[in-house]
Structure formats: structure tokens, C-alpha cells
Structure 1
């Protein structure tokens, strides 16, 4: 079983790859929301999901849907770290004729279960997949990652009601609750109040965690199932996590990583590696 330090190491690798490919493609990318979801994705792909990296169409695999489709940097870096896609494919991101563009495009051979661009669609699709698995008596589970801003969409709540009504205890979601969206502070745009309480009121089994704490994420995903209840992991995160000048800075929702900003971000990541003296990090 994958240990917490191994998951944390995978997350660090993913952050480095996110910076590398954002700089390499030389285009504006969704860095903030990609970085906030890293620990969630590392936990899923290193420990929670059942899948075969070299057999992406394996019938018994768990299904994962990225509903906040603009979070592809966190998604593709997880697929790379998990061995589902290779380095050569990853390095085609945002290039002509690439299968890896700014939002996921369904491609089972690359482990991408769904296309997503319009927000609020992933959970509805997941409800259908989970219901089909129930009816066919299949053991695989379905997981979805949503954004908190995405939860402004009415379709999310239609799907949430349906999942509880249909008793889909083979369905789990994680909400990347970074409290920012494209237009600003999520609470000023549509205040969702107590998001955990809201899902609980819809009949979900809810776990509220620090979305950058691997131990808390593992405990939430691996907690004993509640019969008939879909699971919601409300993960409090920091947009742009890991890069101080990006953290909680909505300018990095979608922005271009210049050579100077790339080198600054990379130096900061390297200074935060385990074993690096604290003084080195403070000097940045």
C-alpha cells in the first residue's frame, strides 16, 4: 500500500511537472486551480483508485471524471506520475494535434474518461456511470473532482439530489474548495455558505478536510462506506498552492509563466524539498 510520504513525493513531482509544461507550452494556462488540486489527485492516483496503468480500458477500473475541466494541469501531471501517459505524450500539451489540450477530451487509451469544458456536467455523467454499475452489479467505483465555483451551477445540485435518491454509495466526489473562481472571490459571486452542511442536507456522507493534508484525504476516501449514501470530500485548498506569489492570487487563475516567473517558482519548489535548510526557503 502506498505510504503518505510516497503520495507527498508524487505531489511534489506533479507540481514540478505543472511548472515545466506550463513554461514549455509558452501559453497562458490554468495554473492556480491546477496547483490547488495536486494533493487530491496524488491521493487518488497513488492510493485510492483501482486501475492498470498499462491497461487503461480494464473493465474493472474505477472511473475518474474531472468536472472542473480547466484543472487539466493537475490531471495530466497525475496521469504522468501514475504511468498512465508517458513523458512524450505529456510534453505535447497545448501543441498542434495534441490529445492534451486546455480541457480534457475523452480518450480511453490515455485514461481520460470524459470530455469537460462547460462546468457542472461531470457529476451528472458520474451519476449515470455509477447507476449503470449498480444495475450491472459491477464493483468499480466512480470518482469526480469539482471546483467550489463550479458548485454555483444548478446541474450540480440536480445530480447531487439524484445520487442520494438513487443510493449511489459507489460514487464519491472531491471538491477543490479554494474559494476563488475566474471572476474573483467565490463567496462574493454566489455564497454557498457551509458547503459541507449543504451536501449533508442532500443525503451525502460528508468529510471535511485540509485538501493539502494527505493523511486527512486518505482517511476521508477510505472511511467505511455509509450504506446507500454517496460520499463528498470537501477539501479546503489554496489556489496556486506551493508557489508563494501564486497562492490566493487570482491573477494566476489563467496566466502565462514567463522564463523569469518559471525560474522563481522552480527555485521556491526546490527550496521546499525535504532536507533543505529552513533558512534557504526563507531567503526566497
Structure 2
């Protein structure tokens, strides 16, 4: 399988082409698109600009937020790779997304994950107060609260995103799709490993609550509104309060086609 970064020029080229078209056709957005996309040399500079504009009214200067984001991306190939995978995943899986441009400009789930990726690098580098600062801003602005220590792979679709919460020791592997109002939470006041581990290919329906140091196996499907308190075997569909096994999933990676029927 080719490295996703080989697709970077193609994706960035399509984003710029679409931005040029929007800037020409919609005068009210011309200035925005010139600043965020058309005046930027790279995709990651553009994303940094978009995020920093959202944070501009807060205590930290817009230019400094952008500088930190671009620096983190420039020094960390995994961050660049995962951001690109996220864009492609959203385009592939979300029927409401018609171009690579839209997640960068409009989708708060994508933007919130980008902020988390920056905060996670800062957290691991010992810059914990700065990481927590960005977490708090993301929670205020996007309604998405991901602890900076939580680990996320690439190809994440955080659809709609409102009220998504992931605790400190949460792990979300590659190619996972998560809808709004999902919680990856703990179940006690004890420190240590206390949050869910979500393996690749999992689909988590809207409003589901996954609680405790549990494992959601590869390719599992969690029904909307479920409360999951125990491990879920790979390729298993669960639903209910508390969640119970419904059947074996017919799909190897339910996250990829977003089929939320309990089958």
C-alpha cells in the first residue's frame, strides 16, 4: 500500500483549485479563501491559518497559534500523514462532503482532531500547560473535549462532532468513524489506565457511551445510544443499555461504509 503522503500534492492541488472557484463565485468569501488557502504554500499552513482564525478572539495571538501548529506539523511526519488520512476519510465516507476543501474550511470535527494532534505532540514534549490550553479552547469553540494524552490514529471521521469526549487514557486506532455525542469515559476516581481502547475499523453510533478500560475489537459496531461497559469482541455488533451482543458484523470494517443498521 502506498504511503498516504504520496497523495499530498493531489489533495492540496484539488483544495486550491476549489478555493479559487469559490473565491471567484462568492465575493463574500473571497477574502477568507485568499487568506486561508490561496496565500498559503502548504496544506498544513492552510489548516493552521483556519484554526488560528477560530482562536483569534482568545488570549493567544492568531499568529502564534498558527506558528505552533505549522511547527508541530513540520517536525512530525505522523501528524502530517494522519491529517491527510483524515481529510481523505471524510471525503470517502461522508456523503455530505463533496470536496477535500470542505473539511478544512467547515467541518469542526476535522478541525478539532487537528487541534488535538497538535496538543498531543505538545503534551508528549512536556509542554502540558500549553497542551491543556489548546484542549480548553477546542472544547469552548468546537464542543469537542479530547484530553491531550489521548491517542488517535489516522483516517478518523468525527462526524458532526458536537459533545464528543475522550478521556486521558483513551486510544482510538486507524479508520474509526464516530458520530456526535459519543463519550470515551472513565468509571471511577482512580488514576491509571481507565478509558476505552477502540481498535481499527470500528463504527460508533451517535450518543453511545463507552466507559472504563474496555477494548472495542477491530471492526466492531456500536449502536446509537448504547452504554458499553464491557469488552466488545472483534467484528461484533452491540446495542442497548447496557449494551449486549446483537450479531456478528457482516462487514470487516463497518467504519468505512457507515452502515448503522444493527447487523
Compute the TM-score of the two structures, normalised by the length of structure 2.
Answer: 0.27
Q: Which has the higher contact order (CA 8 A, sep 6+)?
A: 1
Compute the TM-score of the two structures, normalised by the length of structure 1.
Answer: 0.25
